[in-house]
Amino acid sequence: MAKKSKQITACAKSIKNWPEDDRPREKLFKSGEHTLSNTELLAILLRSGVKGQSAIDLSRKILSKFKTLRNMSHTDIRDWKEFKGLGQAKIAQIRAAMELGRRFSTENTQPKGKVKSSKDIADLFMGRMRDLKKEVFKILLLDNRNQIIETIELAEGTVNQANPIVREIMSKALQNFASALACVHNHPTGDCTPSKEDREFTRGLCQASNIMQMKVVDHIIIGDNTYFSFVDRGQLPI
């Protein structure tokens, strides 16, 4: 009898047994995706729940753990272990949707136009780099009027450091006929204060660029919704 009662309870939790107007997918088509809560949207991505939990129940648990969608956007497979029955396929669906969202949000901020300030550079990369769990190093190549030519990702390091190679940076700049460049990397800790290694690298880059008659416009370090500019702080070696 107890077993039968559990089966009835589990059946009642299934979204298929809800009134049609309450089902997330039906609500989306009837009223538009903008009317759905984060829980309901996540439930649609999950498609189905796990044993004893509907997709809505599971969505609530996931959002309760990560608190925000932003926190969910860069996670490790190990962060999802506590959700029993949630396999790699469902996790892949969620992570793919998050990446699509990031790409959509930055489509209109793809590097183009003229760089006039450190804020221009930081704005281009903040949305993509502030939440990364590893250090990533990018270079922004510019012409002689500071018009953007190209953005190149040069290195992905460990959680603590990336190891950009000055010679490779110069090579990429020359290949693209750049007259100037800016360097950008993130600090996964969220603290954008430059390390000793950051300062040594910046000094070496400026020395090499002087020899190659290449201007270094700035070195930007991205933190948690903030950034450090060597130029703004008057710390870019000449």
In a domain, residue 154? The reply is yes
pLDDT digits 0-9 by tens, 74-104:
777 788 888 887 888 888 888 888 878 777 7
- In this structure, the answer to whether residues 102 and 170 fall within a common structural domain is no
In a domain, 130, yes or no: yes
44 and 66 in a single domain? The answer is yes
| Residues 221 and 154 both lie in one domain | yes
Query: Does residue 64 surpass a pLDDT of 70?
Result: yes
- For range 125-137, the mean pLDDT: 88
The verdict on residue 141 lying in a domain is yes
152 and 91, same domain (yes or no):
no
Q: pLDDT band for 21, please (50, 70, 90 cuts).
A: low
pLDDT in tens, 33-52: 888 888 888 888 888 877 77
Does position 7 have pLDDT exceeding 60, yes or no?
Answer: no
Between 149 and 160, name the one with better pLDDT. 149
- The residue-averaged pLDDT of 137-142 equals 94
Residue 237 resides in a domain: no
Domain boundary among 106, 129, 146: 106
Per-residue pLDDT band at 234 (split at 50, 70, 90): very high
145 plus 215 within the same structural domain: yes
Residue range(s) defining the domain that contains residue 79 = 2-106
Q: What is the pLDDT of residue 12?
A: 46
Residue 14 lies in a domain: yes
Q: For the chain, how many structural domains are there in total?
A: 2
**CATH code of 176's domain:** 3.40.140.10
Same domain for 66 and 116, yes or no, is no
Indicate the average pLDDT of the chain.
84
Question: Is the pTM higher than 0.85?
Answer: no
Same-domain check for residues 101 and 120? no
**Domain end marker among 85, 106, 127:** 106
- Domain's final residue, options 45, 78, 106: 106
Residues 28 and 101 occupy one common structural domain = yes
Q: What is the mean pLDDT of residues 160-184?
A: 89
Q: Is residue 234 part of a domain?
A: no
More confident residue, 218 or 160: 218
Task: Say if CB 137 and CB 164 are below 8 A apart.
Answer: yes
> Is residue 98 in a domain?
yes
- Same domain, yes or no, for 78 and 117? no
Within-domain flag for 235: no
Task: Identify the weakest region by mean pLDDT among 35-44, 105-114, 212-221.
Answer: 105-114
Q: Do 47 and 122 fall within a single domain?
A: no
